[in-house]
Chain A
Amino acid sequence: GESVGLHLPTLSVQEGDNSIINCAYSNSASDYFIWYKQESGKGPQFIIDIRSNMDKRQGQRVTVLLNKTVKHLSLQIAATQPGDSAVYFCAETLKGIDGLTFGKGTHLIIQP
């Protein structure tokens, strides 16, 4: 079965607003999480990652939050731009296991 899932298949936001994409995972043993962005015709592109010993990590315009209590992961994108339009996936893995488990993805649409 699917161990990582996303709450919404599509998210539409206004350009300049902040976006929040959510992800739920079911394997409490997972210790490493990654957010990917996939544009049409391209492979998944790394955005940001976080290990289970952290609850927040920031990058350039992006922040990942990890809530291990409720097994929830979120990606926040600040000041959304047209170039942020893509499908966003969260993925999980754990030490000793090779390979990532992916959710279905959320399609982020930017309204002008």
Chain B
Amino acid sequence: ETGVTQTPRHLVMGMTNKKSLKCEQHLGHNAMYWYKQSAKKPLELMFVYSLEERVENNSVPSRFSPECPNSSHLFLHLHTLQPEDSALYLCASSQDNYGYTFGSGTRLTVV
């Protein structure tokens, strides 16, 4: 596979559930990102990992917990989410802040 792949594509979860989103990049990039895309709003940067270290979290609520075990994999752990957290969650990677490539996203619905 090439590019950035995200799983699952769709996820429906209750407010008391715990789930994780997965992202894998096959581009040899050294940075990975989580973005949130809500209806009628610009893409919002949530987390940045550069060389596997978190460098930005943009005041994201603690119910979102990222994990980057290596330069190719990124996870977003979710727990006790709210309905307003329903959105498209996009993963991206870059090499030294260039060549940004996005995955297809996970469409999350919190019920």
Q: Is the CB of B104 within 8 A of A99?
A: no
Q: How large is the interface on B (under 10, 10 to 19, 20 to 34, 35 or more residues)?
A: 20 to 34
Q: Are A98 and B42 in contact, with the CB atoms below 8 A?
A: no
Query: Which residues B80-104 have CB closer than 8 A to chain A?
Result: 90, 92, 97-98, 100-104
Is the CB of A61 closer than 8 A to any CB of chain B?
Answer: no
A54 interface residue (CB < 8 Å to B): no
B58 CB to nearest A CB, Å: 8
Q: Given that A89-B43, A98-B50, A104-B42 are contacting pairs, would A43 and B104 also be in contact in the complex, using a CB cutoff of 8 Å? A: yes
> What is the interface size of chain A, counting residues whose CB is below 8 A from a CB of the partner?
25
B56 touches A98 (CB 8 A): yes
For the complex, is B33 an interface residue (Cβ under 8 Å from A)? Answer: yes
| Interchain CA distance A102-B101 in the complex, whole Å | 14
* B55 proximal to A (CB < 8 A): yes
Interface residues of B (CB under 8 A from A): 4, 6, 31, 33, 40-43, 45, 48, 50, 55-56, 90, 92, 97-98, 100-105
Question: Told that A34-B100, A44-B90, A99-B45 touch, could you supply 9 new A-B pairs with CB distance under 8 A?
Answer: A36-B102, A43-B105, A49-B98, A97-B97, A98-B50, A98-B55, A100-B45, A100-B100, A103-B42
| A contacts, CB < 8 Å to B | 2, 4, 32, 34, 36, 41-46, 49, 89, 91, 93, 95, 97-105
